[in-house]
Amino acid sequence: MKSPRAEDSGTGQASPPLRSPIRHAALKGAAWLAALVFVGLSGALGYLSFERRAVDNLQADVRHRLELFSSAVEGMIQRLEDVPATVQLSEEIQRLFHAPHRAAVRERADRYLQRLNAFMGGIAIYVLDERGAIVASSARTRMDTLPEEDFSFRPYFQEALSGRVGRHFAISLVGNRPAYFVSHPIRDGAKVVGVAVIMINLDPINQIWDMLGAPALLADTNGVVILSSDPAWTYTTLQEMPIERRVDLQLSRMYNRMPLQRFPLPVQLKVNPETLSIHGSLAQANRYFGFQEVAQIVSGRSINGMDWRVMLFTDVAGAREEAVLAGAVSATGAAFLILVVLFMAQRRRIHRHRRESERLLEQANLSLEHKVGQRTAALTLANAQLVKEVAERKQTEATLRATQGELVHAGKMAVLGRMAAGITHELTQPLGGVRTFAGNAMEFAKRQDLESVQQNLEIIARLTERMGTIIHPLRSFARRTEPSLSTIDVGQSIANALFLYQTQLAHLGVAVDNRTAGEHLPAWCDAHRLEQVLVNLVGNAIDAMADAPLRQLTLVAERAPSAHEATAADGRAYCLRLDVEDTGCGLPPDFASHLFEPFYTTKQKGLGLGLTISRDIVQDFGGALRAWNRDGPGACFSIYLPCAPQRGEPHDG
Ligand code: ADP
């Protein structure tokens, strides 16, 4: 026995292995999970890469702005920082150090400084002697006059006195204004005799914060915020400051005794020692999930030659929102990609199924064509056989008809044979009469009694005529005829049949009750053959009544009310029923199954063909022959005869 797999491989089409539903569901679930992971990863990657790019762009932009801002600040300071160097060159200042106590000389020095300050736009320019006291000043005559004070505690003074250029931020002692101090030594030969100082106004820097477009600050070399776009940040320290440094700053009054608080935001800073660029971040709790995340990035750089650092706080929320959008777009793109892949896969599957269906259809077609070919060949063979059989059957039918004709004729001959004795008896009497009257005529001729001769010859003529009337119906009955259907008078056929048995009926003393006499009974059949049927039936009735005490033969015809209303037992329509009833011995007990069989007979000299021939003849008419035992003694045979066919209706014969 072959396994289904072996059968599959036999056709050359290996069917795909059947997947269990659980495995199929698991694979499907895994595929969906992979798709979800892919979408999620795409979203995350999109988010991260865009965030990084956005932050990089932001930082590049910030760097650019910081550069611009630094340049602006450097420009502001550098424009003025060489002023103290030029002060010592002026004649007024030279004279001042040669005659410091002369009022006129001091006056001229002050005016020179005023002019210079007015021209340069600083807060003040002043000159200190080697002890740190002001000897000349641009502000001496103004409202914010500098007090006669000792400035030797200021780092810029100490630097310049040491022969170097001093520069640092400090809050001015008068007016409490943030300022940038630049000092330069004034020499007399190799000896430093004084210090020239310019106090540069830093207020203009507060005007250009907008240039940075975000919160920003400027911190000095001590890590103290000296200027800021947010006033709350000013004078706070970005890193923890050691106490001794705080004391130094107090002594130098750098911040004019301002309390230095810690910078309010938890900012983490990293300074690159090579580029001096600053990077930092400001962490904050996430708005939705609460975890700590970078909320602002801090970028900064040093301002050339000043040890100042400018720092900018850039909010990354906008970049992050854009990154979320980019992540969503990436995830959507990935989902779309998956959909496209699914769509393509589905299309391929449909295409494959269609190709498979087409292949199967083609196979089915081929197999159908093959089967049709086989069937056609079988049918052609069967047809040829049928044609042969039909031809054989026609031949057989023709032979049968010929045989039937022979049989019918033989039947007639048999009837005539049976009648021979009666006919002989019938003919004997007139024949004897002919002989007697012929002898008489010869005698009368000898006697020349011509009148008597004529009388005898007339009698002979009548007798021969009578013999002719006996012989004529027999000849007509015995004639071999071909069946031909037409509308005939059934009454005539009955009369002819009865005539043939006239002598026999009379001899046996059978009372004949022919109720059809004088009636016109048309029916569709052959007159000679119907006569033969009636002869058979009457003959059988006579035989059956041979020993019967009562001998009565009745012939009754009954017309159907309308052509197609009367039907025989087989359901066919008849227009005339003819009953032949006798009072004989009745039909044998087994008649129902054997009566019309050929060679069935209960008679010693019977042939058993009479009823078979009669039934066939009536069926050839399109009629039927039935038999049954009567309620009283005897049997009854009914002949059902059809009507003439309607015009155009096909009929046999
Ligand atoms: P046969 O007359 O040579 O016997 P039939 O075919 O004419 O052949 O009749 C067959 C048989 O049917 C008869 O032998 C007889 O037994 C029975 N039979 C026919 N007609 C009658 C009848 N009127 N009464 C009783 N029996 C009949």
Q: Which CATH number covers residue 584?
A: 3.30.565.10
CA of 182 to the centre of ligand 1 (A): 168
Cβ–Cβ under 8 Å, residues 625 and 614: yes
- Domain boundary among the residues 315, 342, 368 is at 315
134 plus 231 within the same structural domain: no
Which residues lie below 8 Å from residue 316, measured CB to CB, with a gap of 6+?
51, 54, 55, 58, 294, 295, 296, 297
536 plus 595 within the same structural domain: yes
What pLDDT does residue 563 have? 46
**What is the SS3 assignment for 648?**
coil
User: Looking at ligand 1, which atom is closest to the CA of residue 536?
Assistant: 7
CA of 601 to the centre of ligand 1 (A): 6
Its domain, for residue 618, covers 485-653
210 plus 186 within the same structural domain: no
Q: How far apart are CA 440 and CA 443, in angstroms?
A: 5
Tell me, using a 6 A CB cutoff, whether residue 598 lines ligand 1: no
Cβ–Cβ under 8 Å, residues 377 and 78: no
Tell me, using a 6 A CB cutoff, whether residue 405 lines ligand 1: no
**What is the SS3 assignment for 101?**
coil
Which residue stretches of the chain have pLDDT < 50? 1-15, 141-145, 563-565, 569, 649-653
Q: How far apart are CA 427 and CA 513, in angstroms?
A: 26
Cβ–Cβ under 8 Å, residues 147 and 174: yes
Question: What distances in angstroms separate CA 54 from CA 60, 313, 315, 431, 591, one per listed residue?
Answer: 10, 16, 12, 154, 119
Residue 328: inside a domain, yes or no? no
Q: How many domains does the chain have?
A: 3
- Domain boundary among the residues 184, 201, 218 is at 201
CA of 572 to the centre of ligand 1 (A): 26
Residue 413: inside a domain, yes or no? no
Residue 505: inside a domain, yes or no? yes
161 plus 296 within the same structural domain: no
CATH code, domain with 251: 3.30.450.20
Residue 356: inside a domain, yes or no? no
Cβ–Cβ under 8 Å, residues 211 and 76: no
540 plus 525 within the same structural domain: yes
171 plus 269 within the same structural domain: no
Residue 77: inside a domain, yes or no? no
Tell me, using a 6 A CB cutoff, whether residue 603 lines ligand 1: yes
279 plus 176 within the same structural domain: no
Q: Ligand 1 pocket check: which of 553, 609, 611, 639 to mutate, most ligand atoms within 8 Å of Cβ?
A: 611
173 plus 284 within the same structural domain: no
Tell me, using a 6 A CB cutoff, whether residue 586 lines ligand 1: yes
Tell me, using a 6 A CB cutoff, whether residue 585 lines ligand 1: yes
Which residues lie below 8 Å from residue 527, measured CB to CB, with a gap of 6+?
486, 488, 492, 493
- Domain boundary among the residues 201, 223, 247 is at 201
CA of 618 to the centre of ligand 1 (A): 17
What pLDDT does residue 300 have? 86
User: Looking at ligand 1, which atom is closest to the CA of residue 613?
Assistant: 6
Q: How far apart are CA 257 and CA 249, in angstroms?
A: 8
507 plus 647 within the same structural domain: yes
160 plus 266 within the same structural domain: no
Question: What distances in angstroms separate CA 293 from CA 8, 47, 271, 575, one per listed residue?
Answer: 64, 15, 21, 117
Residue 228: inside a domain, yes or no? yes
CA angle 167, 168, 171 (to 5 degrees): 135
264 plus 154 within the same structural domain: no
Backbone region of residue 280 per phi and psi (left: phi > 0; alpha: psi in -120 to 50; beta: other values) = beta
588 plus 502 within the same structural domain: yes
Residue 357: inside a domain, yes or no? no
Residue 96: inside a domain, yes or no? yes
Q: Ligand 1 pocket check: which of 407, 412, 418, 540 to mutate, most ligand atoms within 8 Å of Cβ?
A: 540
Q: Identify the residue whose C-alpha is closest to ligand 1 atom 21.
A: 540
